[in-house]
Amino acid sequence: MIKPLSDRVVIQALEREEKTKSGIVLPDTAKEKPQEGRIVAVGNGRLLDNGQRVSLDVKAGDKVMFSKYAGTEIKIDGQDYLILSERDVLAIIE
């Protein structure tokens, strides 16, 4: 098991099935910039300057949108993941 530190999260990127309204599947280069993924692990939270620890706004299981070029690629049990700061998570998709 991997336990990210501070405000870091581990994300599994999702392959997005991209279809235009007319039903045409777009090739990879026509896809949008931010990427979608699912949070698989979150850190214990960032420490504020007043010594208070702030838990994250995302939790394991959340489907999120994140900056494509943020973070570091890691491999756990042969599977690809990304580890990045919560600051690079743009939004939760519900």
Residues binding its own copies (CB under 8 A):
1-6, 8, 10, 20-21, 32-34, 41, 43-44, 47-52, 54, 57-58, 65, 67, 72-75, 78, 83, 86-87, 89-94
The distance of closest approach from Cβ of residue 29 to its own copies in the complex, given in angstroms and rounded to an integer, is: 15
Q: Minimal distance in Å, beta carbon 90 to its own copies? A: 5
Closest CA to 11 of 51, 47, 59, 48: 59
Q: How far apart are CA 45 and CA 86, in angstroms?
A: 9
Question: Residue 4 is encoded by which pair of tokens?
Answer: 């990210």
The minimum distance between CB 39 and its own copies, in angstroms, equals: 12
